[in-house]
Chains A and B, each alone.
Chain A
Amino acid sequence: MPEYQARQTIGELLDRQGISRRAFIKYCTAMASLMALPPLAGRAMAEQLRAARRPSVIYLSFQECTGCLESLTRSFSPSIENMIFNVISLDYDDTLMAAAGHRAEAARDQAMKANYGKYLVVVDGSVPTADGGIYNCAAGRTAVDILTETAKGAAAIVCVGTCSSFGGIPFADPNPTGARPVSDLIGDKPIINVSGCPPIPEVITGTLLQFVTTGQVPDLDEHRRPKVFFGNTIHDRCYRRPFFDQGKFAKTFDDEGARNGWCLFELGCKGPTTYNACATTKWNGGTSFPIESGHPCLGCSEPGFWDKGSFYAALSTGTFGRAGNLTPRDAAKLGGAAAATGIAVAAGATALARHRRKVRMTDIQTADTQKEE
């Protein structure tokens, strides 16, 4: 990595690339809007960023599908992502980097050495721990190994996607690879989870940007997600919320309610318990989000989202067993069996009561007879 780049401020780099201050303010304004900051705060943010130095970023991919990286790079607003590569110095990403094999590994070593204690680690994918971690290896080393080593000199770890944040799909029952989220394995570093399957690209860049701007870990929720993006539920911000409030629900995917754009709660929407920015930031450059295209929220940015019963069963219904939801047939079986047992026990209790009654009546009669004699 060329020395001069690391010492440069972002402003200097932008100037060199001919990106004007107004263009950068525009970008920061958009980011501020995403972070629910006042739009005018974008100007202050731009000034701060221009004065900041680009941090070195090491991007580690483990047990993942690359969807998160796709999300980040295949955005409809490439200029924002172009921008992000001006703001950070992506020194290692085995998917994106041109180098391969030992050269690629050498790039990681070099970035770590040069920025020890200051670099940012981005993790994509869960970490398999079963059978010695053999289910995910690169350059002959297990993911656990690579993660532990890289994390040592990190200023912070950003987990991109639900897999690295909470385990995600590999973590789903029965979890054959013993997949774990990063937070289970690294205890001594600040961890920021940017969950979602995949996360919204603007949320990924926004989180990185915020870290670069302030040099600090942002306010996190109980699942270590940045509150600015994960502070509200989908339901809180959903444009179909008024229909929920009016008690108007689509009952199937093709009924009148569905066509009228009514609330998808009864079709299993997890919006009320899912914290993410989909409803406001939307996807594909602000085009739409799942609910807008008529599909309930799956709750992909929540821990264990794969193991919370059917995607298509309402939140207020029961979940039974593995990914199963209570159905009338289950309920009848369950209730029937319980009721039958209840009847049996009652018969026993009554028989006992009758028996006791008989015994006591006999006792009393005997006593009476004795008295009369």
Chain B
Amino acid sequence: MSRLGDIPIRIERPDFAAMAGTIGGGVTAILAEIAALLDRLAAGDEPQAIDLKSLPMNPGDREQLIEALGSGEVAITLYADGESTIRETGVHGVWWTEHRDGDGEVTAAFIEIARVPGILIVDSDELQRGAERLRSAIGATRSSE
């Protein structure tokens, strides 16, 4: 299936760059919220996230936000039913996460305020299943010997 972006059409759009900060100008508000969430995380609260899809932002705002946060030291690519990218921004503990499906369409995008992005953490079930899998692999090797 061809992607929508592959279809050669011209979309007339308003000049969002010129509009940035003038309308929908919530960039400052988002930065303030991130700062508050960092404080709470440091104080021992649970990690939090800001959903980027539900904010009525225009591309101009988005670019401003990216620019304001800057880029950091860690970049993670998750290969699970489509590629997801998790990048630490210039601010430690602030992660820019974008989940994509098999077609490369963004299904979720959010800023996570956490020491480590939650999705990376492996849970106990998986550890056990992993261990079982290794043991059964060992058993198979032994039996084949």
Query: Are any A and B Cβ atoms less than 8 Å apart in their complex?
Result: yes
In Å, the complex CA distance between A42 and B119 comes to 10
Chain B, interface size: which category? 35 or more
Q: Which residues of B from 100 to 142 have beta carbons under 8 Å from A? A: 101-103, 105-108, 110, 112, 118-119, 123, 125-126
Q: Report yes or no: A26 in contact with B108, Cβ–Cβ below 8 A.
A: yes
Q: Report yes or no: A237 in contact with B81, Cβ–Cβ below 8 A.
A: no
In Å, the complex CA distance between A21 and B120 comes to 11
Is B44 in the interface zone, CB < 8 Å from A? no
Is A103 in the interface zone, CB < 8 Å from B? no
Residues of the A chain whose Cβ atoms lie less than 8 Å from the Cβ of B81: 19-20, 23, 26-27, 79
Using A78-B102, A280-B53, A286-B53 as known contacts, say yes or no to A21 and B123 having CB atoms under 8 A apart: yes
Using A27-B81, A259-B12, A260-B14 as known contacts, say yes or no to A33 and B105 having CB atoms under 8 A apart: no
Residues of the B chain whose Cβ atoms lie less than 8 Å from the Cβ of A342: none
* Min CB gap B116→A, angstroms: 13
In Å, the complex CA distance between A21 and B78 comes to 12
Q: Which residues of A from 53 to 87 have beta carbons under 8 Å from B? A: 76-80
Q: Which residues of B from 2 to 32 have beta carbons under 8 Å from A? A: 4, 12-14, 23-24
Q: Report yes or no: B4 in contact with A287, Cβ–Cβ below 8 A.
A: yes
Residues of the A chain whose Cβ atoms lie less than 8 Å from the Cβ of B125: 21
| Partner-contacting stretch, out of A107-115, A238-246, A333-341, A363-371 | A238-246
Residues of the B chain whose Cβ atoms lie less than 8 Å from the Cβ of A36: 51, 54
Residues of the B chain whose Cβ atoms lie less than 8 Å from the Cβ of A25: 119
- In the complex, which of the residues A19, A30, A242 contacts B24, with contact meaning CB atoms closer than 8 Å? A242
Residues of the A chain whose Cβ atoms lie less than 8 Å from the Cβ of B101: 77, 79-80, 285
Q: Report yes or no: B48 in contact with A26, Cβ–Cβ below 8 A.
A: no
Q: Which residues of A from 314 to 368 have beta carbons under 8 Å from B? A: none
Q: Report yes or no: A242 in contact with B23, Cβ–Cβ below 8 A.
A: yes
Q: Report yes or no: B47 in contact with A22, Cβ–Cβ below 8 A.
A: no
For residue A260, which residue of chain B has the nearest CB? Answer: B14
In Å, the complex CA distance between A77 and B48 comes to 27
Q: Which residues of A from 9 to 44 have beta carbons under 8 Å from B? A: 19-23, 25-27, 29-30, 32-33, 36, 38-40, 42-43
* Min CB gap B5→A, angstroms: 9
Residues of the B chain whose Cβ atoms lie less than 8 Å from the Cβ of A237: 56
Residues of the A chain whose Cβ atoms lie less than 8 Å from the Cβ of B119: 22, 25-26, 29, 43
Residues of the A chain whose Cβ atoms lie less than 8 Å from the Cβ of B106: 286
Q: Report yes or no: A285 in contact with B12, Cβ–Cβ below 8 A.
A: no
* Min CB gap A23→B, angstroms: 4
Residues of the A chain whose Cβ atoms lie less than 8 Å from the Cβ of B89: none
Q: Report yes or no: A77 in contact with B103, Cβ–Cβ below 8 A.
A: yes
Residues of the A chain whose Cβ atoms lie less than 8 Å from the Cβ of B102: 78-79
Q: Report yes or no: B107 in contact with A40, Cβ–Cβ below 8 A.
A: no
Is B80 in the interface zone, CB < 8 Å from A? yes
Is A155 in the interface zone, CB < 8 Å from B? no
Residues of the B chain whose Cβ atoms lie less than 8 Å from the Cβ of A286: 53, 105-107
In Å, the complex CA distance between A260 and B102 comes to 35
In Å, the complex CA distance between A38 and B58 comes to 21
Is B72 in the interface zone, CB < 8 Å from A? no
Residues of the A chain whose Cβ atoms lie less than 8 Å from the Cβ of B70: none
Chain A residues with a Cβ under 8 A of chain B: 19-23, 25-27, 29-30, 32-33, 36, 38-40, 42-43, 76-80, 237-239, 241-243, 259-261, 279-280, 284-287
A-B contact pairs, 14 of them (CB 8 A): A22-B80, A26-B108, A30-B108, A33-B51, A39-B51, A39-B110, A43-B118, A76-B1, A76-B103, A77-B103, A238-B56, A242-B23, A280-B54, A286-B53
Chain B residues with a Cβ under 8 A of chain A: 1, 4, 12-14, 23-24, 47-49, 51, 53-54, 56, 58, 78, 80-82, 84, 97, 99, 101-103, 105-108, 110, 112, 118-119, 123, 125-126
